Chain A
Amino acid sequence: MTVAASLPRSGTAPTATMGEQIPFDVDHLRADFPILGREVEGRPLVYLDSANTSHKPRCVVEAMEDHYLHHNANVARAMHALGGEATAAFEGGRQQIADFIGAERPEEVIFTKNASEALNLCAHTLGSRVGPGDEIVISVMEHHSNIVPWQLLAERTGATLRWFDVNEDGRLDLVGAASEGLINERTKIVSITYVSNVLGTVNPVSEIVSLAHAVGATVVVDASQAVPQLPVDVTLLGADLVAFTGHKMVGPTGIGVLWGRYDLLAELPPFLGGGEMIEVVTMAGSTFATPPHRFEAGTPPIAQAIGLGTAAGYLSAIGMDAIAAHEQEITAYALDGLKTVPGLRILGPREPVDRGGAVSFTLPDVHPHDVSQLLDSRGIAVRGGHHCARPLHHRFGVQSSTRASFYLYTTKAEIDALVDGLGYTQRFFGGGR
Chain B
Amino acid sequence: MKVEDLYQEIILDHYRAKHHSGLRDPFDAEVHHVNPTCGDELTLRVRLTDGVVGDVSYEGVGCSISQASTSVMSDLVIGKPPDDGLELHEEFLSMMQSKGVGEPDEDRLEDAIAFAGVARFPARVKCALLGWSAFKDAVLRAGVEQTTKGTS
Interface residues of A (CB under 8 A from B): 366-370, 373-374, 376-377, 384-386, 390, 393, 399-400, 428-429, 431, 433
Contact = CB atoms under 8 A, between A and B. Distances in A.
B137 interface: no
B7 interface: yes
Nearest to B60: A399
A369 B63 contact: yes
A272 B7 CA distance: 48
Interface in B46-93: 61-65, 67
A367 B124 CA distance: 13
A373 B6 contact: yes
A430 to B, nearest CB: 9
B64 A367 contact: yes
Contacts of B38: 369, 384-385, 400
Contacts of A370: 7, 63-65
B39 A399 contact: yes
Given A373-B6, A374-B3, A399 B124 contact: no
Contacts of A386: 39
A429 B6 CA distance: 13
A401 to B, nearest CB: 10
28 contacts: A366-B64, A367-B62, A367-B67, A368-B63, A369-B63, A369-B124, A369-B127, A370-B63, A370-B65, A373-B6, A373-B121, A373-B124, A374-B3, A376-B3, A377-B2, A377-B3, A385-B37, A385-B38, A393-B39, A399-B39, A399-B41, A399-B61, A400-B38, A400-B39, A428-B7, A429-B64, A431-B12, A431-B16
Nearest to A428: B7
A429 B12 contact: yes
Given A370-B63, A399-B61, A431-B16, A385 B39 contact: yes
Interface residues of B, number: 21
Contacts of A429: 12, 15, 64
Nearest to B2: A377
Contacts of B61: 399
Interface string B2-25: 111011000010011000000000
B100 to A, nearest CB: 16
A373 B127 CA distance: 13
Contacts of B4: 433
3 nearest A-B residue pairs (beta carbon): A377-B3, A367-B63, A369-B63
Contacts of B39: 385-386, 390, 393, 399-400
Nearest to A365: B16
A126 B61 CA distance: 39
A374 B3 CA distance: 7
A367 B38 CA distance: 11
Nearest to A387: B39
A199 to B, nearest CB: 17
Nearest to A385: B38
A409 B62 CA distance: 33
A377 B1 CA distance: 9
A171 B124 CA distance: 34
Contacts of B6: 373
B12 to A, nearest CB: 7
A369 B38 CA distance: 8
A376 B67 CA distance: 20
Contacts of B41: 399
A374 B124 CA distance: 13
B131 to A, nearest CB: 15
A386 B61 CA distance: 13
A376 B1 CA distance: 12
Among B7, B16, B61, which residue has the most Cβ atoms of chain A within 10 A? B7
Contacts of A428: 7
Contacts of A399: 39, 41, 61
Contacts of B16: 431
A428 B67 CA distance: 17
Contacts of A400: 38-39
Nearest to A425: B3
Among A367, A374, A384, A393, which residue has the most Cβ atoms of chain B within 10 A? A367
A431 B64 CA distance: 13
B71 to A, nearest CB: 14
A15 to B, nearest CB: 34
Contacts of A374: 3
